């Protein structure tokens, strides 16, 4: 592909960086900035490289957030989780990191995706880097017209697991056209295009994409059949396995799902993923000890899903394994490039009466991001009470008491805090 030629050319990497930014080629820009030996540059160039890396990371993070919201809206929860996790890893700005964390948390709680106001261009967040200033003031329509199909495919492949990307790269034009239609949310068109592909070309990749599309269209029985066929042809095709777990869960086939997960573990396939899904099944059944055991095995296998970490930490805390719970919560990504405690870690500290100053800063940061969420104002008032600042706590409680529509789970805490202020 052309972007590989760009990356591995023998040009001056700093000059390549500037060219990639001018073209808004964020994938190539991020790759080349990470390859530059910064210790060999002067301070000004180091700042320029850092600024461009941050601009590329934020641009890609915004793209993955949008892709994740689309996937969540269309019922592809696994894809949404992957996109949101990637957005979290790529983000440099605090706002984007918080947005990705909130998207992951909302996904775990089954909430509908939200669509915030369009952000400023990623490079605008790094005004200290003159080279990384916006390259032009072209309209979105003009920019979209400049992105041809090859560039679109390159961008999508860059976010795909490395073992799978070459197979899409070498797929037939008919398959790629149908696949791009699914990425654009044009499901009816995609179904027609997939149906036109000759039977001889309907390999495991076709069965996976077509089955996933059927699942998003609500045709769960047909989707299940095609995804099973994909895995019969190619048992190691994780993407098909993952979507099949979503289909079985959505159709309330928990028994067959559990059996499939255990069979996969016996075959030593997809260990971390399977243990994580088994943990969810146990939680659903209120089988808390098996849930914790399965969740910890998933983490040992390399799963790093924040909702899984939070679930395990809560179960560890329930068992009074406080040090283990805290260590796990400390693995959650903090806020922004400067770090900071995750709000779930801050809540743990508050319950334990430790690190209350750091917890307060975390809650204030969370409230800046979710000003309408009364949870954070309550937590701030609880920290004030823990510090003995009753007057300041009472002011926050008054604000909470006047807050309309408090969630039921917070009402008793607000009342308890109000009593403590008297």
- Which CATH number characterizes residue 417's domain? 1.25.40
Quick one: pLDDT band at residue 406, thresholds 50, 70, 90? confident
| Verdict on whether the full-model pTM lies above 0.75 | no
Q: Give me the pLDDT at residue 131, please.
A: 38
Residues across the chain = 422
Domain membership of residue 259 (yes or no) is no
Number of domains in the chain: 4
Domain membership of residue 135 (yes or no) is no
307-328 tens-digit pLDDT: 999 999 999 999 999 999 999 9
Quick one: pLDDT band at residue 24, thresholds 50, 70, 90? confident
Which phi and psi angles does 139 have, rounded to 5°?
A: -75, 160
Rounded to an integer, what distance in angstroms lies between the CA atom of residue 24 and that of residue 77?
A: 29
Q: Which two tokens stand for residue 417?
A: 């805090």
Could you report how far apart the first and last alpha carbons of the chain are, in Å? 69
Rounded to an integer, what distance in angstroms lies between the CA atom of residue 33 and that of residue 56?
A: 9
| 183 plus 309 within the same structural domain | no
Q: Is 296 helix (H, G, I), strand (E, B) or coil?
A: helix
Domain membership of residue 141 (yes or no) is no
**Residue 79 CA, distance from chain mean position:** 9
Domain membership of residue 387 (yes or no) is yes
354-369 tens-digit pLDDT: 999 999 999 998 888 7
| 348 plus 312 within the same structural domain | no
Last residue of one domain, picked from the residues 128, 159, 190: 159
Q: Which range has highest mean pLDDT (111-125, 273-287, 359-373)?
A: 273-287
| 153 plus 201 within the same structural domain | no
Contact 229, 246 (CB under 8 A): no
Q: Give me the pLDDT at residue 240, please.
A: 95
Residue 296 has pLDDT above 90, yes or no: yes
| 379 plus 294 within the same structural domain | no
| 210 plus 71 within the same structural domain | no
| 370 plus 323 within the same structural domain | no
| 309 plus 343 within the same structural domain | no
**Between 364 and 120, where is the model more confident?**
364
Domain membership of residue 128 (yes or no) is no
Last residue of one domain, picked from the residues 109, 126, 159: 159
| 94 plus 236 within the same structural domain | no
Q: Give me the pLDDT at residue 232, please.
A: 96
Question: Nearest 10 degrees: CA dihedral of 53, 59, 61, 62?
Answer: 160
Q: Which residue has the tokens 């396939």?
A: 269
Task: Taking residues 381-393, report their average pLDDT.
Answer: 94
Q: Give me the pLDDT at residue 139, please.
A: 44
Considering only CA atoms, which of 247, 255, 196, 250 is closest in space to residue 226? 247
Domain membership of residue 139 (yes or no) is no
Q: Give me the pLDDT at residue 338, please.
A: 43
| 220 plus 342 within the same structural domain | no
Quick one: pLDDT band at residue 278, thresholds 50, 70, 90? very high
Q: Give me the pLDDT at residue 334, please.
A: 67
| 44 plus 152 within the same structural domain | yes
Q: Give me the pLDDT at residue 393, please.
A: 92
**Between 101 and 295, where is the model more confident?**
295
| 285 plus 360 within the same structural domain | no
- Quote the domain boundaries for residue 280: 268-329
199-246 tens-digit pLDDT: 998 999 999 999 999 998 889 999 999 999 999 999 999 999 999 999
Q: Which residue has the tokens 């916006």?
A: 134
| 104 plus 237 within the same structural domain | no
Structural Rg of the chain based on CA atoms:
24
Q: Which range has highest mean pLDDT (39-53, 108-122, 280-294)?
A: 280-294
Quick one: pLDDT band at residue 11, thresholds 50, 70, 90? low
Last residue of one domain, picked from the residues 252, 279, 307: 252
Q: Which two tokens stand for residue 350?
A: 């508050």
């Amino acid at each position: 592909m052309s972007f590989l030629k760009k990356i591995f050319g023998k040009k001056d990497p700093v000059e390549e960086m500037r060219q990639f930014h001018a073209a808004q080629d964020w994938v190539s820009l991020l790759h080349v900035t990470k390859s530059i030996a910064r210790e060999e540059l002067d301070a000004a160039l180091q700042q320029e490289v850092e600024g461009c890396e941050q601009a590329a990371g934020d641009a890609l993070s915004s793209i993955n957030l949008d892709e994740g919201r689309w996937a969540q809206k269309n019922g592809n929860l696994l894809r949404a989780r992957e996109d949101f996790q990637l957005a979290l890893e790529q983000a440099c700005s605090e706002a984007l990191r918080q947005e990705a964390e909130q998207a992951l948390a909302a996904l775990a709680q089954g909430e509908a995706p939200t669509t915030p106001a369009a952000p400023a261009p990623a490079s605008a967040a790094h005004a200290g880097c003159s080279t990384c200033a916006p390259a032009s003031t072209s309209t979105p329509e003009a920019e979209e017209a400049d992105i041809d199909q090859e560039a679109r495919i390159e961008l999508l492949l860059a976010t795909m697991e490395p073992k799978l990307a070459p197979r899409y790269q070498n797929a037939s034009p008919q398959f790629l056209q149908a696949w791009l239609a699914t990425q654009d949310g044009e499901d009816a068109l995609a179904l027609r295009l997939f149906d036109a592909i000759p039977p001889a070309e309907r390999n495991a990749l076709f069965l996976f994409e077509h089955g996933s599309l059927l699942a998003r269209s609500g045709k769960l029985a047909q989707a299940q059949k095609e995804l099973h066929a994909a895995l019969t042809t190619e048992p190691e095709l994780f993407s098909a396995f993952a979507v099949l777990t979503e289909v079985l869960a959505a159709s309330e086939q928990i028994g067959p799902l559990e059996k499939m997960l255990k069979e996969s573990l016996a075959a030593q396939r997809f260990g971390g993923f399977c243990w994580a899904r088994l943990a969810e099944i146990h939680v659903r059944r209120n089988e808390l000890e098996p849930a914790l055991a399965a969740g910890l095995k998933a983490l040992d296998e390399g799963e790093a899903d924040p909702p899984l970490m939070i679930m395990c930490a809560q179960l560890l805390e329930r068992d009074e394994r406080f040090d283990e719970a805290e260590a796990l919560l400390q693995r959650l990504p903090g806020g922004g490039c400067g770090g900071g405690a995750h709000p779930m870690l801050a809540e743990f500290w508050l319950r334990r009466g430790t690190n209350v100053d750091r917890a307060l800063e975390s809650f204030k940061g969370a409230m800046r991001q979710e000003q309408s969420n009364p949870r954070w104002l309550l937590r701030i008032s609880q920290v004030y009470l823990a510090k003995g600042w009753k007057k300041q706590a009472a002011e926050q409680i008054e604000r909470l008491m006047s807050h309309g529509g408090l969630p039921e789970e917070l009402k008793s805490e607000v009342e308890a805090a109000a009593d403590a202020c008297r």
